Amino acid sequence: MALEYGGTGAPRVTAKGEGDIADEILRIAARHDVPLHADRDLVQVLSQVELNQEIPEVLYLAVAEVIAFAYLVKGKVPAGFDPGNATPPPRSGEAGGRPALPPSDSDHSFP
């Protein structure tokens, strides 16, 4: 699963597949230094979104977490972001936190 977010509108699903196709998506991502984030549940839901379609509003928060992860890994911050006013996300097990799922061979998502 691949997502693209240009900073306006909602993120779009730009690639998806299983098996060999998923492996090729991962190879392309690695070649272009794209951060990877594994979340089986999110991939399962996003797989129902058509290619090049924006994600549904119900997935905004979950995908925002993936995009924030990608920004963090790349050492980037969104334009206008003030870390002094940021509230840290809840930790796994706290209210609103989600436990991390181990990656599987066929479930991948990345921005």
The reply to whether the predicted model has a pTM over 0.75 is no
What confidence score (pLDDT) does residue 47 get?
93
Angle subtended at Cα 7 by Cα 90 and Cα 60, rounded to the nearest 5 degrees: 40
CA dihedral 90, 9, 67, 19 (to 10 degrees): 120
What are residue 88's phi and psi, to 5 degrees? Answer: -65, 145
26 token code pair = 């991962």
Predicted local distance difference test score (pLDDT) of residue 8: 86
Q: Give the model's pLDDT for residue 103.
A: 43
- Low-confidence stretches of the chain (pLDDT < 70) are 83, 86-111
Residues in a beta bridge with 15:
2
* pLDDT (0 to 100) of residue 87: 64
pLDDT of residue 77: 75
d(CA 70, CA 11): 13
Q: Which residues pair with 54 in a beta bridge?
A: 12
The predicted structure's pLDDT at residue 68: 86
- In the chain, what are the domains? 2-85 (3.40.1690.10)
Tell which residue, 4, 5, 21, 10, has the closest CA to residue 106: 21
